[in-house]
Amino acid sequence: MAAMRFGLQLFPWCTAPEMVAYTKRALSQHPFTKVWVPDHLSYENVFVTLASLVMETSAHVGTSVAQPFSRTPVDLASSFAALSHLARERGITVGIGTGAVTSDMIRKQRRVTMVREMVLLLRELFAGRKATLGEFPNLADFFRLDPAAQTLLRVPPVEPPEIFVAAAGPQTLRLAGELGDGLILSNFSFPTALLRRGILDAAMAKVQEGRRARGDGGPFTKVFHLHVSVARDGGHAKRFSKRLASISLARSNLGRNKLVRLGFPAEEATAIEKAYHQGRGADDMEPLVSDRLIEESGIIVAGTAGECIAQLDELLRLAKPHRFDIVDIATPLGPDLGEAIDIICQEILPELQRRSDSYCDRV
């Protein structure tokens, strides 16, 4: 039987010491391949949190994801370098993308180009080479850097960290294939309702287009984040999922027009889109999301352990042709994080592993 590799994404809703405790709780029950933490400015600093996890647990950690707008390139590179030195032979993973659908209080521009330049500059700095900032004009302009200045990391990583690109649209999908060591997709952008219609075929074709442009045929890791909300009380888990679902629906591949074409009420789809464009936050948008929208779209897997297993089973069967290397169980996880971790490790993952031949045809 092929062994499935699972990762875990923990959102920093709590303190760094609590994140350490939850990570230890998870790793004591399942050998997760990676533990990811998102980079959100309103919560505790992602690098402090990840450093705590590296020092206090056996986790291989990564950002899921960092974005190129909140830190200067040199600050971002030096933060990853320090984390890499702490992790030593375990290594770390740089997950990078265009950022959350919410603003992070930053007016973002030229998102794809900024990611491209940041990946290229990180590679130069990780390799210990000097870089002229003017060769990365969008980064230099955004951060008001001197184009003539040169920069380098005085203490670069011993081994350059791997860089995975989070992608949803055609440009970032191609970019991931062209520049990334790996790809991160999620059911926020590739929910069950769209997988049934073959959206992954077109998405992975774009990734392959980028791989062909790169031309080296080196290792490439494909990661699928599956966002889950599980609890003994399935109704509570579904209600808890709506906050995150609301902001994801506003900017996902699902979108208003596709929701309507899939048979969801036009007024519900319109209300979510309108609220987003009015700048309303998740607290305001959460009540606009119905149980039906959660259950039938698959943008978040939610419910009891049995309900989540059934939904994950369909997702993984649909994704099988594209041979994902790592499947992540991703935020929000559940209203009671400790309970959710126990259910995931003790009930959901063992059952998915038992069925792994249905999802993975490689040794």
Give the residue extent of every domain in the chain: 6-232+301-358
Angle subtended at Cα 360 by Cα 356 and Cα 363, rounded to the nearest 5 degrees: 100
* % of the chain residues with pLDDT over 90: 76
Provide the token pair at 156. Answer: 């670069």
Query: If you search the block for the tokens 């890791």, which residue do you land on?
Result: 221
Choose which CATH entry (3.20.20.30, 1.10.3720.10, 3.30.565.10, 1.10.4190.10) describes domain 6-232+301-358. Answer: 3.20.20.30
Low-confidence winner among 176-185, 218-227, 241-250 (lowest mean pLDDT):
241-250
Among 155, 146, 141, 160, residue whose Cα is nearest residue 68: 141
**Average pLDDT value for residue range 148-153:** 98
Span 57-71, pLDDT tens digits: 999 999 999 999 999
pLDDT at residue 245, as a whole number: 86
Q: Collapsing DSSP states into helix, strand and coil, what is residue 95?
A: strand
Span 180-202, pLDDT tens digits: 999 999 998 899 999 999 999 99
Name the pTM for this structure. 0.94
**Average pLDDT value for residue range 201-205:** 97
Helix (H), strand (E) at residue 266: helix 266-277
Half-sphere exposure of residue 147: CA atoms within 13 angstroms, side-chain side: 7
Among 219, 157, 217, residue whose Cα is nearest residue 183: 219
Helix (H), strand (E) at residue 206: helix 199-214
Residue 10 CB neighbours (<10 A): 26
Span 132-148, pLDDT tens digits: 999 999 999 999 999 99
Provide the token pair at 281. Answer: 């936050």
Please give the mean pLDDT across all residues of the chain.
92
Span 321-330, pLDDT tens digits: 999 999 999 9
Strand extents, DSSP E, the chain = 6-9, 35-37, 61-63, 93-96, 131-132, 150-151, 162-166, 182-186, 221-230, 301-303, 326-333
Among 19, 18, 27, 103, residue whose Cα is nearest residue 58: 27
Distance, in Å, from the CA atom of 10 to the CA atom of 65, rounded to the nearest integer, reads: 12
pLDDT at residue 192, as a whole number: 94
pLDDT band at 51 (very low <50, low <70, confident <90, very high): very high
**Average pLDDT value for residue range 92-112:** 82
| 302 neighbors 329 (Cβ within 8 angstroms) | no
pLDDT band at 131 (very low <50, low <70, confident <90, very high): very high
Burial of 322 (C-beta count, 10 Å sphere; 0-12/13-18/19+): middle
C-alpha of 34 from chain center: 12
